[in-house]
Amino acid sequence: MQKQIRQMVEYLKTKNKRIFILSCFVFIFSAFSLIWYVTATEPTNIKTEYKFAWSENGGWFNFGSNDGGVMVADSALSGYIWSENLGWISLNCSNNNSCVTSNFKVSNDSEGNLSGYAWGENIGWVNFAPTNGGVHINSAGEFSGYAWGENTGWIVFNCQDLDICVVSDFKVRTTWLPLSVRNQNESDDEEEGVEISDVRYSSTDTTIVINWKTNHDADSHVRWGRDKNFKKEKNDNKNEKKHRVVLRNLDPDTQYYFRVKSTDKNDNSDSSRIYSISTKPTSTFFVKRHWEKMPNGSESEENYEKIDVDVTDKSETEIENGENLKKSAEMGTPNDGIQQLGIISRLFSGVKNTVAGFFSSVYDLALGGQRKITEFFDWTGDKIAGVCNSFVAKFNKEKANEIARLHKTKYFTTEVFNRNERKLLAEVRFQILDKSDNPVPNLETMLFSDPQTSVTDDNGIASFKDVPIGSHTLAFDYEGENFRKNVAISDTLTDEGNVRAEIVQVKAEKEKIAMWMWILIVLLIIAVSIAIYFAKKYYRLKKNTKE
């Protein structure tokens, strides 16, 4: 045995040791390359639903690639176009600081008339203002016209130019608008009077949510009451085109009347007609059971069983698959009137999708591991904090009161009951936070699969009544992004009765892998590689010894 150990030590002193160290560096480099591949994205003002141009000889040209970062500005375009057949095409020499050697760009005259050249190593020069062609961006931000490529021929930016939108609905569209259109919009807002439209309203047992639109920025004003005399009013001086006012603390099963009004900065105003709506009756199941369980309110909430509500991001793979299906539906198939791409191109696309699917699966697996690790440390931290707080509270009355106050704001008492052989939770609460952990008030949220809506209060808390125990989806829009969070309400041994529930905090940002998780993944790869290396050497030495 000692002889085998000495042989192994001597063996590791050879050049193979240097090969092993080099392999470790290769693994580290590969891991960080994967991080860059998954997380690196460039900003773009190209619409995600309309980002493709077409050429019979070049196939699809993607103006909205995550890595391309195409930006349309008043003076020029910048960033890169991606073609599966031809690779990257640069719109501006400033992309890679090559203007000293080759000064080119696609220019914009601020009115959407494009000119100049783009460059790609596999496509050559692309002229955006050729004879008998030219590319223009209209008042809606849509590209139209033709560019000419040396090796691809005509590049079409809008299906309307070929009159084939029924067959394949493609176009390139940007959020940028010509300067004259932006100035006209500003002058229209100043000159036109206010017009109220699209008044919508809904209610719960204690709230009424009122939404309406105006043709330009104006404030929000609602007069309301139980009759048409409108004894109460609520104002919001924030000027905007989309208006939302929430009336709270109302009586259940009661009819209310209201009228909305908006006034702009030039004192132009408009009022709506009188609307009426009734609040919903309070759940008789909840009220009855609440009276039965706590007639004197003497039972301590600390004795109630705690029910867990878990929230995670929707699977990125599922979202990506949905987007790919949508894109396929929009683009049509090659047999729909567009010339088929080559066999090599389709093979390359299949390999690319397979690699992307693999990375996506690995990414989702890493996210799942990160959630489990975070949950463990959160649980451990809560237990340690609980023990410390209990110890301090015995000697400090002020601290004890502060702990009780924080506990009361974090938890609330609700109820588990059965209805039609289904177990339900009388109330679920979510607190929506922005990226800086500040509450988001007056935000409309929706809970699936038992659809119901709720508007957050001033503390960012949305409340949902009579929610079936199981899996749901919490959805809301914030700052132009759509968020969908998976909600899992755990089933407990409680058949019926009061329970403690936590106000679940939901952050309005996409879940991503933290840097510490990336470091842990790299260390895990290195550890596995070392283990495999030594196991391989050990069995090889063992085999040689037997021989």
Q: What is the CATH number of the domain that holds 278?
A: 2.60.40.10
Range of the domain at 2: 1-40+515-547
Same domain, 501 and 465: yes
Of the candidate ranges 239-243, 311-315, 433-437, 509-513, the one whose mean pLDDT is the lowest: 311-315
CB 59 within 8 A of CB 93: no
CA distance 195 to 385: 56
Q: Where does the pLDDT of residue 191 fall: very low under 50, low under 70, confident under 90, or very high at 90 and above?
A: low
pLDDT confidence of residue 52: 92
CB 206 within 8 A of CB 248: yes
User: Does residue 29 surpass a pLDDT of 90?
Assistant: no
Same domain, 79 and 218: no
Position 84 in a domain: yes
Same domain, 362 and 465: yes
Position 160 in a domain: yes
CB 311 within 8 A of CB 474: yes
**Count of structural domains within the chain:** 4
Position 366 in a domain: yes
Position 433 in a domain: yes
pLDDT confidence of residue 322: 39
User: Does residue 328 surpass a pLDDT of 50?
Assistant: no
Same domain, 52 and 170: yes
Position 8 in a domain: yes
Same domain, 119 and 264: no
Three-class DSSP labels, 351-376: HHHHHHHHHHHHHHHHHHHHHHHHHH
- In which order are the strands placed within the sheet that holds 452-455? 309-313, 481-489, 471-478, 444-448, 452-455
User: Does residue 455 surpass a pLDDT of 50?
Assistant: yes
**What are the tens digits of pLDDT across the range 255-272?**
999 999 999 888 888 999
Same domain, 466 and 520: no
Q: Where does the pLDDT of residue 318 fall: very low under 50, low under 70, confident under 90, or very high at 90 and above?
A: very low
Same domain, 124 and 200: no
Same domain, 544 and 463: no
CB atoms within 10 A of CB 209: 20
pLDDT confidence of residue 518: 83
CA distance 471 to 312: 11
- What's the whole-number average pLDDT of the chain? 76
* pTM of the predicted structure, to 2 decimals: 0.36
Same domain, 52 and 116: yes
Of the candidate ranges 89-93, 104-108, 228-232, 306-310, the one whose mean pLDDT is the lowest: 306-310
Position 334 in a domain: no
Radius of gyration of the chain, Cα coordinates, nearest whole angstrom = 31
CA distance 525 to 502: 38
Position 181 in a domain: no
Which residues, including other chains, have CB under 8 Å from residue 231's CB and lie 6 or more apart? 225
Same domain, 310 and 442: yes
